[in-house]
Amino acid sequence: MKFKQSLTGWLFMVPFLLVVLAFLVAPLGYAFYLSTQADTLVGGQSFVWLANYATSLTDPVFIEGVKRVLIFGIIQIPIMLFISTTSALVIDALNTRLSRIFRLIAFMPYAVPGVVAALMWGFLYSKSFGPFVGIAGHLGVKDLNFYSLRMFIYSISNIITWAWTGYNMIIIYSALQGLSREVYEAAVVDGASQVQIAIRVKLPAVKNAILLTGLFAIIGTMQLFTEPNILRRYTNAVSMGYTPNIYSFNLAFAQSQFNYAAAVSFTLALVVFVLTYIFMSVSRRKAKSQ
């Protein structure tokens, strides 16, 4: 009977396992195989072991792209998480019909596809007919260019923050809804204000949800691709290796260096793994120290 039950469970899992093997394991395995190959003048493909990975780790274009997205994340992620957390705390404290409308409006940007969001903000940033440049001109700010080398990183940061703040806010708000209301009532009886309750009761209780959103934000930042790639036609700031993903894409589809592009992609995955591991380790140490 136990064998039949186990066999039945595995049979139910077969369709899912087939999909995973066909669309995840097999493509990753083939990409890793490509990353260990190199084109030669005579003989076509040759096995080079991890030579492509060694090259990627010393590639100045790849390293510069990694540095750029790291700086981007250091600037953008704390701002986004601060806005998301503050918004979640506010609507949890209000708990009225107005808060429901605000949740819906805040979540709507996440429903907009990344390509559409980039094109929409590209119009708003336009120096010719964009409203922001016109408003800045009326306020006395001249020569405002969102596509300049200095401003473009902040323009992209604004798009990402606009798109993902509502999503992170909903995650944190859901965690707040799972907390016992008796704790809040006890804090009110003790004379705590709403601000004190938010800082000393709610924030410690939802720190795991905040850490989860931070982890997702780090992974998404390292994979930055859509927004700068869509807006590259309007600016000279986006180079071939502006981000690691753009660099890998250009290597594969602009220069036909599929083997090295695969190695760059796996190297980026390794960088993401290291960063997430460091982030989780630091978070755990802080939790233990508290």
Domain extent listing, the chain = 50-289
Task: Give me the residue label for tokens 């009886």.
Answer: 189
Structural contact between residues 61 and 240, judged by C-beta atoms closer than 8 angstroms: yes
Residue 99 pLDDT > 80, yes or no?
A: no
Alpha helices in 178-257, H assignment, sequence order: 181-189, 194-197, 203-205, 207-222, 226-231, 244-253
Nearest partner of 85 among 200, 198, 215, judged by Cα: 198
Task: Give me the residue label for tokens 């390292």.
Answer: 222
| Averaged pLDDT score across all residues of the chain | 89
pLDDT at position 182 is 82
Structural contact between residues 249 and 96, judged by C-beta atoms closer than 8 angstroms: no
pLDDT at position 43 is 62
Give the pLDDT band (50/70/90) at residue 59. Answer: very high
Helix, strand or coil for residue 45? strand
* pLDDT tens, position by position, 137-191: 888 888 888 999 889 999 999 999 999 999 999 999 999 888 887 887 788 788 8
pLDDT at position 105 is 87
Q: Enter the pTM of the model.
A: 0.89
Residues 6 or more apart whose Cβ sits within 8 Å of residue 225: 243, 245, 246, 249
Nearest partner of 290 among 203, 180, 193, judged by Cα: 203
Residue 96 pLDDT > 80, yes or no?
A: no
pLDDT at position 290 is 66
CA distances to 103, 107, 163 from 111, rounded to whole Å, are: 13, 7, 8
CATH class of 50-289: mainly alpha
Q: Which residues pair with 45 in a beta bridge?
A: 39
Residue 41 pLDDT > 70, yes or no?
A: no
Structural contact between residues 81 and 162, judged by C-beta atoms closer than 8 angstroms: no
Letter for the amino acid at 136? A
Q: Which residues of 225-252 are buried (b: 16+ CB within 10 A; e: fewer)?
A: ebbbbbbbeebebbbebbbbbbbbbbbb
pLDDT at position 171 is 94
SS3 helix, strand, coil % of the chain, rounded to 5?
A: 80, 5, 20
Residue 3 pLDDT > 80, yes or no?
A: no
Average pLDDT over residues 270-285: 91
Give the pLDDT band (50/70/90) at residue 2. Answer: confident
pLDDT at position 287 is 72
- From CA 178, how far away is CA 100, in angstroms rounded? 17
- From CA 250, how far away is CA 228, in angstroms rounded? 13
Residue 215 pLDDT > 90, yes or no?
A: yes
pLDDT at position 9 is 82
